Amino acid sequence: MPEGLDEAVVQLVRVLRGLGRDDLENRATAAGARLKRPATIVCVVGEFKQGKSSLVNGLLGQQICPVDDDLATSALTLVRHGDVPQVTVRRRDDRGATVAEKVTIEDLRGWVSEQGNPGNHKQVQRVEIAVASAVLRQGLVLVDSPGMGGLGAGHAAATLSFLPFADGLVLVSDASAELSAPEVEFLRRATELCPTVLFALTKIDLYPEWRRILNLNRAHLAVRGVDIPIVAVSSALRLEALARRDRDLNEASRFPELIRMLADDVVTPAKEHAAERSAADVRSIAALVRTGLEEERALLADPSRMKHSLAQLEEANTRLEHLRGPGARWSVLVGDRVADLSNEVNFRFRGGIRTVQRTLDEQVEEMKTPTEWDEMARTLQTLVADHVTQAFAAVEKGRTAIREEVAGLLQVEYLNMPSPRGSSPSFDAAELWRDKDLVSEKAGRRALQTGLTGVRGAQSGVMMFGMMGGFLPAAAATLIASNPVLLGAGAVFGGLQLAEDRKRKVAQLRQTARQQVRQFVDDVQFEVGNAIGELVRQLQRDLRDEFTDRLAELQRTYAETARRAQDDAKRTQDEVQRRLAETDEALVSLTRISQLAGGGPA
């Protein structure tokens, strides 16, 4: 990050304001805001009642997320910085439409806890909280997820499918017991998908043997080759220390160590990336303005060039006017490439899902035991999650490729286009699975009462990860996180466990399971197809708006240069000298700004 980038933004805004370039001033201001507070997403995950919400509260330094022994988080909760406290609940109404409601922090329990919102009957997609916090001020966004109800179930697939879109992940497990095999495997896979993975051992104030558990966990991770930072913390000590303003007690909570880890391993890399983008924006804006000022200065020094220069500026404006129209080559290129991208992504996704269905159909024919049924559910969720993730990752890669091709085309046409800036899509996708039983209602109730992990997970699993708007651009978890097969195939498992002596029902249950799997696959293809279509349409709009804005900035630069040149022609000699001095001063400032933003000497 260039050391003078902050100052470069301040100086550039001042120059642009003096020139009356509000369009470029807004862009420079956005670059400064991105520099100060880049969106940095950290997901906090783990099994039920391991202290996830308490850990989030400890990081915030205040009680925000509900945490009681009889409460469990049932809805995805996003916490970001905001000077004014605010809570927004996004849910589906009775007609299936997405609505946003403002509620108070005191009302959170009724929306995000299993007690206040059992089985998520209020259809909450996510809850977004804005709160003032020193930890969040630099752009960190914490995601407090529902309990995962068994990392070996489909929840792991749902969470892992989103890690390529997150900046960091914290797995929470308390000090009452060592890590389970599914937790270790989850961490191993997470390190392959997410740039930063941390393990937090919680509730060390409650368990005197926490150091032994910590060492056992280190050994388990080492055996699987998982080398990640580990920190043991006490949320209770942290909040008590802050209430007392006791620095020693705060150190004993070990939260300062966790905060340093997040700052060094997550926030700093995100800031560096944001700084690169902001510096590029600053340099391109400065170069654009300098082009117009240099042309004006040349005309002030040699008025005889006026007629020829004005003709050139008029010609450039005419060409730019055409380029801003729908028939321009770059605009047609965007449409063609987006159509190609949509066709390719959908073709590959449908092919992958077709293969998944064939694989599951073959497995269903051979399954005989409840264990095999459990494995089928995990396989289905994992495979589908992988294909959904690949589809949306392909869209993002396509976005970058199209942007670069369009920029190259415009540069070939002798336009000095600023470097394109990146963006993140946002979309909403519908929740797929509705609770379905494969057996009769009475038998289904008996299956639920057997205490199957899969059924419990379906009621309180990772909800609507894909609904995180602008900073998690994928719908896989929307489709997977509600554990689509659990209340279907899960009921089959329970039915088989309860009826091993009734082998005659196995064939009937297999058939029902096949129907449910096929229905699920059809639903996935329908919903993901719609989501991809909307995402691609938004991509096309974004690209056209982005390049149209850049062209408009360039056109305005030429138009204002021509206007100033005409005004300069009417100046007296003294006025010309003063304007020359003003132009030289602005050019010197722009050169300095470019250097502060990492550019070489102009």
pLDDT per position as a tens digit, 361-380:
888 887 766 567 667 777 77
Mean pLDDT, to the nearest integer, of 415-433?
A: 32
What was the pLDDT predicted at 222?
Answer: 95
Q: Mind giving me the DSSP string for 450-491?
A: TT-HHHHHHHHS---GGG-GGG----HHHHHTT-TTTTTHHH
What was the pLDDT predicted at 347?
Answer: 95
Q: Are 5 and 597 within 8 A, CB to CB?
A: yes
Q: Are residues 48 and 138 in the same domain?
A: yes
**Domain presence at residue 30:** no
More confidently predicted of 483 and 197: 197
Total domains present in the chain: 2
Phi-psi region of 470 (alpha: psi -120 to 50; beta: other; left: phi over 0): alpha
Taking the C-alpha atoms of residue 287 and residue 559, their distance in angstroms, rounded to an integer, is 16
Domain endpoint, select from 504, 522, 549: 549
Q: Are residues 249 and 338 in the same domain?
A: no
**Domain presence at residue 211:** yes
Q: Are residues 75 and 220 in the same domain?
A: yes
- Model confidence at 517: pLDDT above 60: yes
Instruction: Tell me the three state secondary structure of residue 174.
Output: strand
Q: Mind giving me the DSSP string for 87-129?
A: EEEEEE-TTS-EEEEEE-GGGTHHHHBTTTSGGGTT-EEEEEE
What was the pLDDT predicted at 569?
Answer: 86
What was the pLDDT predicted at 1?
Answer: 60
Q: Are residues 379 and 256 in the same domain?
A: no
**Domain presence at residue 238:** yes
**Domain presence at residue 130:** yes
CATH number of 184's domain: 3.40.50.300
Residue 517, burial from CB neighbour count under 10 angstroms (0-12, 13-18, 19+):
buried
Q: Are 163 and 190 within 8 A, CB to CB?
A: yes
Out of 72-81, 82-91, 466-475, pick the least confident: 466-475
**CB neighbourhood size of 368 (10 A):** 11
More confidently predicted of 127 and 471: 127
Q: Are 384 and 292 within 8 A, CB to CB?
A: no
Residues spanned by the domain of 241: 37-269
Domain endpoint, select from 231, 252, 269: 269
**CB neighbourhood size of 80 (10 A):** 21
What was the pLDDT predicted at 458?
Answer: 22
Q: Mind giving me the DSSP string for 136-170?
A: TTTSEEEEEPPP-S-TTSHHHHHHHTTGGG-SEEE
**465-498 burial, b if ≥16 CB within 10 A, otherwise e?**
bbbbbebbbbbbbbbbbbbbbbbbbbbbbbbbeb
**Domain presence at residue 274:** no
Whole-prediction pTM value? 0.70
pLDDT per position as a tens digit, 278-313:
898 899 899 889 988 998 898 888 888 888 888 888
Q: Are 530 and 267 within 8 A, CB to CB?
A: no
**Non-local CB neighbours of 202 within 8 Å, separated by 6+ positions:** 50, 51, 54, 55, 172, 173, 174, 175, 232, 233, 234, 235
Taking the C-alpha atoms of residue 597 and residue 600, their distance in angstroms, rounded to an integer, is 9
Q: Are residues 501 and 420 in the same domain?
A: yes
Mean pLDDT, to the nearest integer, of 409-425?
A: 49
Mean pLDDT, to the nearest integer, of 448-454?
A: 25
- Model confidence at 522: pLDDT above 90: no
Domain endpoint, select from 269, 295, 310: 269
Q: Are residues 208 and 336 in the same domain?
A: no
* φ and ψ of 109, to 5 deg: -55, -35
pLDDT per position as a tens digit, 548-558:
888 888 888 88
What was the pLDDT predicted at 502?
Answer: 55
**Domain presence at residue 14:** no
- Model confidence at 212: pLDDT above 70: yes
| Type of residue at 5 | L
Q: Are residues 238 and 372 in the same domain?
A: no
pLDDT per position as a tens digit, 385-402:
778 878 877 888 888 899
**224-235 burial, b if ≥16 CB within 10 A, otherwise e?**
eebebbbbbbbb
**Domain presence at residue 103:** yes
What was the pLDDT predicted at 469?
Answer: 27
Residue 170's pLDDT band, with cuts at 50, 70 and 90, is: very high
The helix/strand count (H/E) of the chain reads as 20, 9
- Model confidence at 120: pLDDT above 80: no
Mean pLDDT, to the nearest integer, of 165-191?
A: 89
- Model confidence at 340: pLDDT above 80: yes
The percent of residues in the chain predicted with pLDDT above 70, rounded, is: 77
Strands 98-103 and 86-92: antiparallel
Q: Are residues 362 and 492 in the same domain?
A: yes
Mean pLDDT of the chain: 77
**Domain presence at residue 555:** no
Q: Are residues 461 and 388 in the same domain?
A: yes
**CB neighbourhood size of 362 (10 A):** 9
